[in-house]
Structure formats: structure tokens, C-alpha cells
Structure 1
């Protein structure tokens, strides 16, 4: 979430499926190697984790109700490029109505059909346009990941609160007629006097209340089941999971299934790994993100030698270079994509990077490399300030060797491959070498300045 923007807007206004666990669709092999779990594909959709996820929005996408149509127009091209799932912004009506990016949820069941919070449509469009977008994605084999905000709500009316002795903005009367809320459903209440997950002064949902659990995931008409069965969502990105216990995600997922990933914004690998175990879900690999920032912004590729979630548990790691909250890796960003698209974990690419900021041909090439060559466990072969070389050992494919060069000149190195007396080539086209590996599997490869090469069997 763009926290400062959201807090500012909100404070101003207050003053005035039956899929079974489509987990990352990878199975852990020895040394953290992964492969797609094709058993969880449903209805002709690509197995989540067999390709690459697209974050299909950015902060402040155009207002005016056009975004669902924009996404619909792109899903065929994304699918052809090797995308297997799209992650879309919070889809339901929020306090800031036609201007909200959705992270201040008010009515979980209003997808752009009720005249409340200043508009009928959401910022992204109407309910019909949302369902058309989901259907278009499905027709092109893509799963659709819903962004779910469960920690806090916004836009309630003021009411006397017996637990605080004053008035709080906790009286929620959504026009959909579903999931009315009052002070008892938030912290503080008769269950907890406070909650460490409170965020930005917003009313903070209490997940220990049976009523809240029933409406969020347990009832036949719960938010989770409505999103899955009526709208057609296939999985979940849980916002701000630091605000509530991991069992919430686990219970939600166990009730309705679907791929699940949490936004645990923390670089501590042990914390990320522990959360994924407790939640039985994946997490965005913020440890990897910050190490890439150190490597590419700090011009020291040695940082890539440090620990990351994908090294700890690749089957639970969702890697990324940029998202709607943060875009700090600016120098040689394509090198960061070369890193995540050749390494373990489930990589996510960012809409603006793909559609506007970076070379789409190079991005498509890296997506193809990820989907066709980047299998098996990983061995780091060389790392220093300017150079990084790693080998993927292959799983139902030949594997690859990636050479990232952050210096201003061509670099060459002898490395040990898995291929004996075999002709190899650079699948990026950056080098025209086609060397033959020695009988002992050694070969000399090269990489251009401030760029990369990816080598595999010709």
C-alpha cells in the first residue's frame, strides 16, 4: 500500500475455489530445486508457478473506471509471452470511491454496482467489466489473483464504542447488505484490549470473533467463497500480513483453496520462512529484493551471495524487482530481472516495467528462458563486485548458466557446467559464441558490459 497517500486521504474524509491448494505449483526437490505441480491445474488454466506472475497494476492507475478493460486487452499477449497468473488490485468498493486503489476497503461485496462512497463504479470499473476481465484471463489460460485486505477497514460511520469509552468510526452499513460491522468486530473489543497489528488509525478487524471469521471465509456466502465462486478469482495476495496472525491466512486457504501469498514486508529470512510455515502459504521474497537493491544500486554483486527466502525455501518464495509500493532498483533494473527469471522461486514482473519502462523483447526473452531452461537446483559459480555467475542444474530440461556483468566492459570466465563435450550458446543473443564444453565440462563464457548472458545446450 502507498501508506502515506492512503492515510492522508482517509484522515481527510473521516474529519469531514474449488481448486485444491494451487500453491506456487512447485514441489521442493533436493537442494531447493523446484518443478511445476501440474496436478493443480484447473479448467485449462496454466498451473500457477509454471510460468511468471504479472502484477497487473501500479499505484494510481488511471481513474475513471477503465482499468479492468485495459487488463482485458492485454491478457492474450501476456499469456503468449509465458505469464501464468495476473495479480490485480483490491476489487471492491473502498472509502475513497472512484479514486481509491482499494486498500481502504468498505464494502467487500460492491465491485462497482452500488452508489456509495461517491460513485457506482470503483476506480477500476464496473462489476460486469471485472467479471469480463476474469473471464478473458481464464480463456487465455491465466489465473487471477485477488488482492485481499483483511487487516483494516475504512469508511464506517461514528458510533459510541463501549470498549473505548468514546466514539469510533466502526459502524459499517454496506449497501450490498453483506457483512455489517460494529465496534465488537474491531479492536479493542470484548476479546482484546489492543492489537499490535493496528495500522494508520484505521478500524482494525478482530479475526478472533466468530462473526468476522464467518463473513470473511467460513459462511457459504463469505468474502472468500464469493470471490472464488461468483467473481471467479483463483488465488489470493494477502495485504499487510504483519497485522494479523498467520493462522488467518491458513484458515482462509484451507477453507477455499487457491494459491496464497502474503505481503510480509521484512528482509529477515528467518521471519519470512517461519511465516510461510505457519501460514502454509508463500511470501514475497523481500530478503531477495533488498539484497538485489544492495547489489545493483550499491554496485556490489557480492550481496547476491547472502541469504534469501528462495535459498531457504524456494517453493514458498515469490520474487520481485518492483511493486506498487516500492521501486528502488533503478540502475540496471534489467539485470535484476535477469537474476529472478533465472533463479529459483516464482518470479513476478511489474506492469510498468513490462509495458513501459523496459525493453519488452528482452523481458519476453527472459520469461522464455525462465519457462524453458531455468529448472533444478542452483550453484553459485563465481561472485565479486562486478560479476555473478550461477548454474541451474536442470529438471526435465538442460538447465542453464547465467552470467551477470555489472562492469563497463566485456568479461570472460572459465566455469564448470553440467555438460560434457557439448555445444552451448547464449540464449539472450548478447554473445555470438557457440563454444564446446570440454570433456571435463569446463568452458569459457562471456557477458557484455552492464548486461548478462544465459547459456544452455544448443
Structure 2
């Protein structure tokens, strides 16, 4: 099995050195496994104006979220009136002018107030950062770009297996910027505008970037430019590489960014549609590179599976820096089960993952010497199983409140019971 340093994943992702970890309360590389318990978790807060997001910051902080990810702060072509529902079409992804942060979500001053309030409550703010494209509009719509600054050799993408089309095509009709020398225009000018855009986010005090549509840009652009711009400003960075192939997504992680674990999500979606949960063992980027993985159970592009909260229980307790999302943010903030999962992640999760039982309807894994998780997707029956653990002669409490205490024997074995379509979170008192 992997051996992972006993440090905060968030600290590593943001480049904070081991010496600073003690002050942050996350232990150090020399800590014992139990001392290393406690990992960060973020919330995706979409579909509301900045003022509403700001009003919920105290609650977000009290629940324990370390960061929020919000939509792109730039002038865009779509308005609230263009929507037929909360996310149809999503706002913020058809930018017009990357220099103007007055948007449908609020003014620049309201964005600044949101960020300042978040920081006053110890919550970081990650901004959606759209570097791939501008709006689906005529070229004279964009005051900072000319016709020559866009790709014109593909048009609409009709072959998703063709890497050239994916990188040069107009995804959903969005005008595709030429960031590298793969265009006849002036990529250096395009890059300067994109750098200025990212720098302005940093000037507002934002803490990180979520790179939208990263799959549609070359890995070289991130390794040679965008990642460095973020690093120079001390910004967290995570890319949306919307693909189920682990190796493909890993290529972007290898540029130095973190990635949303879409390969894991698609496996989770099948497992938590009353499927085979054994497929989750070792799946996704999380299974091979958890230090760059952002697991999730739902987002604004992909609906979560039917066994929704069960999927959240998994995403919240495995390795990685998970993100919580619901179409209605209040659903997350008011949900006792979800709030408990945040608490468990922040207080009990840590250490390497050992799968103790991988069955069709029962999955049991241990975050070594910190947390024992049981998930049951059987719709009608409790599932009992004897599993091996790292503990000896230890009483474990179920911090989910779904089951009774259990005692590990002197050989390290314990019998746990997991309710139908439910979960247990066992750890010492």
C-alpha cells in the first residue's frame, strides 16, 4: 500500500511547508497516525448572488467547511432572465470582458465584501476561472480580444476522440481562445490577458482558482503558464478535466494542479445506483494520487446518483480534498447528515486507506488507525461483517449515530453492522 505523509492535504495543495502545520493544527510529518486525523473539505456554493453567499458564511464556517468555490466573477453575456431554472443555462461561463468583475452575481465591491467576510470567519474563497473561451457571440462582443485571438480551424466539436478538435473546437459554440502557438494570431497577447485576469482575482484576496474546461486546453498551457501564475500569487488550483479516463486526467494533475476526480465520480455513480460497490476499491485519481484529487458526489454539470447521501458519505471520508454541492446550497447547510460528514472529515479522517471488505453491497475501509467506515447500499437489510483493523482491545464509537459501539478484540478483528442504505463512522472515543 501507499505510504502518505501525515500532513494536511490542503496545506500541501497550497504549498504550505511542514514547519507551518503545527500552527494550523494539522500535525506534522512526524506525527502519529491518530494525531494526523482531520482533513479539509470545501463547499461549491452556486446559483445565488454574492450577497446571499456572504450571508451564509457564518453558517458555512460553523459547519466546518474550509473553503467555498463560487462562480466566475466577470462580465458575461447571460443574465438571470436567460435562465429556465437554477442552472439552465449556468451563469458565469459566457464571459464578455475578463477585466470587469461586475457580474450577474454582484458588483466588484460585493465580491470584495464576500471574500473579506469569508476570511474573517476562516473560510477560503476559490473563484471559477474561465481561461478556455469567451461567450458564444460575435467577435466584436469582446473589447479585449480580436478575431485573430481565437481558434478558427475546427468550428464545432463533432469528434470527441480527436484531441485536436477537443483543444481547438468551439465547445457549445463558445469562442475558443488560442493560448499557445497553435493559432495564427497572437498567443502572447492572449496569455497576458489571462494572466491579468488571474492576477486581478488575487488582488481581491481570493485564495484559489477552479480552472473551467481544462480538458479543452493543452497541458503545456498549465505546466508552462497558468499553474505558475497561480503559484506566484499563492493560489490553490484545481482543474475540471471532464473525462472518465484515469490516465488522461492524471496527465493534468502531473502538470502541478489538482483535479476533480471524474473517473472516480463515474464509478461512484454506478456503485450508488444500487450497483457493485467493490468497484470503488482503488478507483479514480484518489486511488493512485490522492494528494491531487478532489472527490465529489454531485456538481452543477453531473447529477449525483440515486443513493445520494450514501455517495456523500463515501466522498467525504476517503482520501482527497472533497467538495460538497447541491443545486440548493441550503440543502447542504441544513442537512444534519451532511454536517456530520463534514465533522467526521475534519476531525477523524486521516491516514492511508485500507479496504477491509469489498462486497457488492457492503464496503468497509479504514483510514489507518483513525477511522473505520462501513457503507451498505442494500435497500432492505442490515449487513454484518467481521473485519480486520489496526486497533487492539479498543472500543469504537459510531460517530454517525446510526449504530452501537463495537469492541475490537486482541487480534484486531471487530464485527460491525451497517443499516440498509446507510453508513457507520467508527473511531475510538
Matched, 1:341 2:341: no
Query: Which one of the candidate residues 170, 173, 178 is aligned to 1:201?
Result: 173
What are the superposed Cα offsets for residues 236-272 of structure 1, whole Å, 9 maximum, x if unpaired?
0011112111232331221232111111111111111
Number of equivalences: 381
Instruction: After TM superposition, give the deviation of residue 224 of structure 1 in Å.
Output: 1.2
Structure 1 stretches of 5 or more lacking a match? 1-27, 113-121, 157-168, 175-179
Residue of structure 2 in register with 1:245 after alignment: 218
Matches of 2:120 and 2:424, distance apart in 1: 34
Matches of 2:81 and 2:112, distance apart in 1: 20
Query: Which one of the candidate residues 321, 339, 347 is aligned to 1:372?
Result: 347
Instruction: After TM superposition, give the deviation of residue 313 of structure 1 in Å.
Output: 0.2
Change (3 A) 1:437 1:306: closer
Q: Which has the higher Rg, Structure 1 or Structure 2?
A: 1
TM-score, length of structure 2 as denominator length = 0.82
Instruction: After TM superposition, give the deviation of residue 234 of structure 1 in Å.
Output: 1.1
Instruction: After TM superposition, give the deviation of residue 149 of structure 1 in Å.
Output: 1.1
Matches of 2:111 and 2:333, distance apart in 1: 28
Query: Which one of the candidate residues 155, 158, 170 is aligned to 2:139?
Result: 170
Matches of 2:283 and 2:342, distance apart in 1: 24
User: What is the Cα-based RMSD across aligned positions, in Å?
Assistant: 2.6
Residue of structure 1 in register with 2:87 after alignment: none
Instruction: After TM superposition, give the deviation of residue 346 of structure 1 in Å.
Output: 0.7
Residue of structure 2 in register with 1:3 after alignment: none
Instruction: After TM superposition, give the deviation of residue 77 of structure 1 in Å.
Output: 1.1
Matches of 2:119 and 2:207, distance apart in 1: 10
Matches of 2:99 and 2:52, distance apart in 1: 22
Change (3 A) 1:173 1:454: closer
TM-score, length of structure 1 as denominator length = 0.77
Instruction: After TM superposition, give the deviation of residue 411 of structure 1 in Å.
Output: 1.7
What are the superposed Cα offsets for residues 211-252 of structure 1, whole Å, 9 maximum, x if unpaired?
1111211xxxx11111111x2211100111121112323312
Matched, 1:319 2:295: yes
What are the superposed Cα offsets for residues 311-348 of structure 1, whole Å, 9 maximum, x if unpaired?
1100011000111111141x221111110111001110
Mapping for residues 283-294 of structure 1, pairs under 5 Å: 283-294=259-270
Structure 2 stretches of 5 or more lacking a match? 27-37, 83-90, 154-163, 181-186
Residue of structure 1 in register with 2:254 after alignment: 277
Instruction: After TM superposition, give the deviation of residue 196 of structure 1 in Å.
Output: 3.1
Query: Which one of the candidate residues 197, 200, 206 is aligned to 1:226?
Result: 200
Matches of 1:107 and 1:421, distance apart in 2: 63
Query: Which one of the candidate residues 336, 347, 350 is aligned to 1:361?
Result: 336
Change (3 A) 1:353 1:45: farther
Q: Is the 8 A contact 2:127 2:208 kept in 1?
A: yes
